[in-house]
Amino acid sequence: MITRYDTATVAGMTTDPITGFIHARNVPIARTGVFKYVKPDGSIHKEAKLPEDILSDSTVESANNKPVTDNHPENANGQRILVNRDNSTALMKGFTASNAHVDRTDGTVRVDMTITNPDLIKKISGGKRQLSIGFQTQVVPQSGVYKNTKYDSVQKDITINHVAVVDVAREGPDISLDRSVVGDSAEMIGELDDFSKEKGQKPQMDFEKVRIGDQTIKVATDDADKLIKFDSDNQANQKRIDELNAQIKKLTDERDSLKSGNKQAENDKSEAQAKADSLEKELQGYRDKVEGDGLDKLIDQRMGLIDDVKSIVGDSFDPHGKSEKEMKIEAIKSVDGDSAEIDGKDDVYVNAYFNAVKNRKQSHFVGATVHDFKGDSADSNVSVNQMHENFYNLANKNKGGNK
């Protein structure tokens, strides 16, 4: 059994004029969706709360009559703990009501709650307004797709233990006492989805930590996969740089060790020098990719391509682990399907085809347009692939090459 902590916003709050207690009504404490969690090794894991699990009778029932705490309780070692009868006197600052229910319009579990502790009431009045739900669950490895979002595992047998009042876990102007947005947890790095959009609310920016080289940086969740893939490419470039440096040193040493005095020796020295010069040129190309402005340009180029491909394939497009050529081919096939005879084609052809598809998409044309091409093939009966062959020839000609 794994313990999780999901967050939501305290909503519909009132103060009892007699007791001074705070009452929050119809608070959304959990919702369906796919959420990202950081595993102990720092990797990202997507877990789904499917309707049949999070909205089940047993999970909804578990939200009734549960303690409210000031932050998630921890032991002396700083490890989070659950609330029970032995520690409830010290930890319990309020309680949930017995009216937990499901709101089918947005896929949430909701319940009223009462906060009784004067210190916590002061903190809430001072801006401490977000709820975080502590619960236990069985995380079952099971991949799938829910509402166009892929997941790796499913949370089952969800049992709510307590509701913690915490500081805003993620900054955002729309997080306030008057909102009803179900968010994520301290372990989670998920994002607000169409739930907030349907409510007419501005989504808050989500961030996650990713490992880039020997540093851990905080980036927008939407850009994390792009940077992870870029870092993988960058490491491959650096590996090639090391290999080239080693080869250049070896050739230079061989050249310097050769003694002059005969024609063969001079030829060998010239050959070694030529190889070293060729490798030096290749080395500079890799250096340009990972150093100075070249690095920034490469990041911008890849992120721009990912955005272009997403505009063609859709938001479900996953760039992780894919080269630029593979991404372009996926975009081409998503539009032209089996008619796209793209396998085995070189980079120039793929680039030309991709640009044609992108331009066609931006212009809202369903098919390729003959106006992009010149020659005998520019007629109404020309095939899509023939037109792209022409486009390829033009692109190659402009580069000074031949088909």
124 domain residue, yes or no: yes
* Whether residue 303 sits in one domain with residue 390: no
In the numeric block, the tokens 């880039």 are attached to 212
User: What pLDDT shows up at residue 50?
Assistant: 95
Look up the domain containing 72 and give its range. 2-205
* Whether residue 195 sits in one domain with residue 69: yes
User: How far is 399 from 393, CA to CA, in rounded Å?
Assistant: 10
User: How far is 280 from 272, CA to CA, in rounded Å?
Assistant: 12
* Whether residue 250 sits in one domain with residue 137: no
Q: Are 354 and 333 in contact (CB under 8 A)?
A: no
Alpha-carbon Rg for the chain, nearest whole angstrom, is 30
152 domain residue, yes or no: yes
* Residue type at 279 in one-letter notation: L
Other beta carbons within 10 Å of 58: 10
* Whether residue 381 sits in one domain with residue 252: no
312 domain residue, yes or no: no
What the block records as the tokens of 126 is 């001072």
Closest listed residue to residue 67, CA positions, set 85, 90, 92 = 92
* Whether residue 271 sits in one domain with residue 241: yes
User: What pLDDT shows up at residue 361?
Assistant: 60
* Whether residue 226 sits in one domain with residue 199: no
Measured torsion, CA atoms of residues 372, 378, 383, 385, in degrees rounded to the nearest 10: -50
* Whether residue 109 sits in one domain with residue 62: yes
User: How far is 151 from 31, CA to CA, in rounded Å?
Assistant: 15
* Whether residue 113 sits in one domain with residue 231: no
User: Which string of b and e fits 81-97 if b means at least 16 CB within 10 Å?
Assistant: bbbeeeeeeebbbbbbb
* Whether residue 231 sits in one domain with residue 161: no
* Whether residue 352 sits in one domain with residue 229: no
318 domain residue, yes or no: no
User: What pLDDT shows up at residue 106?
Assistant: 84
Per-residue tens of pLDDT for the chain, all 403 residues: 666 555 544 556 788 889 999 998 888 878 888 887 766 566 677 889 999 999 999 999 999 999 999 988 988 877 888 999 999 999 999 999 999 999 988 888 888 999 999 999 998 888 787 777 888 888 899 999 998 889 999 999 999 999 888 875 332 222 223 333 343 343 444 333 333 334 444 434 444 444 444 445 455 554 555 555 555 555 555 666 667 667 666 666 666 665 555 556 666 667 777 776 776 676 666 555 555 455 556 666 777 788 888 888 887 788 777 888 888 998 888 888 877 778 888 888 888 888 888 877 654 433 333 333 333 333 434 444 555 555 555 555 555 554 4
Q: Are 226 and 321 in contact (CB under 8 A)?
A: no
What the block records as the tokens of 198 is 């349907």
User: What pLDDT shows up at residue 255?
Assistant: 61
User: What pLDDT shows up at residue 52?
Assistant: 96
User: How far is 155 from 167, CA to CA, in rounded Å?
Assistant: 25
Closest listed residue to residue 162, CA positions, set 100, 71, 227, 56 = 71
Q: Are 69 and 81 in contact (CB under 8 A)?
A: no
Measured torsion, CA atoms of residues 220, 327, 33, 193, in degrees rounded to the nearest 10: 50
**DSSP string computed for 184-253:** --SSB-----HHHHHTT-PPPP-EEEEEETTEEEEEEHHHHHHHHHHHHHHHHHHHHHHHHHHHHHHHHH
User: How far is 5 from 113, CA to CA, in rounded Å?
Assistant: 17
* Whether residue 238 sits in one domain with residue 165: no
216 domain residue, yes or no: no
What the block records as the tokens of 54 is 């999070």
Which of 262, 282, 307 is the C-terminal boundary of a domain? 307
Which residues are CB-neighbours of 108 under 8 A, at least 6 positions away? 28, 29, 30, 31, 32, 102, 182
What the block records as the tokens of 8 is 């939501």
Other beta carbons within 10 Å of 137: 22
Number of domains in the chain: 3
150 domain residue, yes or no: yes
* Residue type at 57 in one-letter notation: D
Dihedral sign of CA atoms 42, 300, 190, 7 in order:
positive
* Whether residue 148 sits in one domain with residue 48: yes
Which of 279, 307, 335 is the C-terminal boundary of a domain? 307
User: What pLDDT shows up at residue 306?
Assistant: 85
215 domain residue, yes or no: no
Closest listed residue to residue 169, CA positions, set 203, 131, 202 = 131
User: What pLDDT shows up at residue 56?
Assistant: 96
